[in-house]
Structure 1
Amino acid sequence: MSRISVRGFAVASATAVTAVGSVVGVASGSTAQTNDDLEATAAGATLLADIPAGQQVQVQTASLTQQAETMAIAADTSAKKDAEEAARKAAAETAIAKKKEAADQAAKEAQAAKEAKERAEAEKAASRSKTASASASASASDFAVQSSYTVAQVQAMARQMIPADQFQCFSNIVQRESTWNYKAMNPSSGAYGLVQALPASKMASAGADWQTNPATQIKWGLNYMNERYDSPCGAWSFWQANHWY
Structure 2
Amino acid sequence: MRFTPRRSDESSVSAAVAVALGLCLVGGMSTAAQAAQSPSAHPAVTSQTTTGPTVRAAVSATVARSLVSEASTDTTTAPYISAEAEALANEPLDDIVDDARDALGDAREAVSEAEAAEKKVARSKLKITGAQTIDTSVVEDHIETLQTIAVTPVLLLPASTEEAAADTAKVEKATDRLLSRLEKAEKAEERRKAAAAAKKKAEEAARKAAAQAEAASSSGGSSGSGGGTSSGSPASSGDNSVAGAKATARALLADRGWGSDQFSCLEKLWNKESGWNYRAYNSSSGAYGIPQALPGSKMGSAGSDWKSSAATQIRWGLGYIDGRYGTPCGAWSHSQSTGWY
TM-score tier by shorter-chain length is 0.3 to 0.5
Output the TM-score relative to the length of structure 1: 0.41
Structure of higher CA gyration radius = 1
Output the TM-score relative to the length of structure 2: 0.30
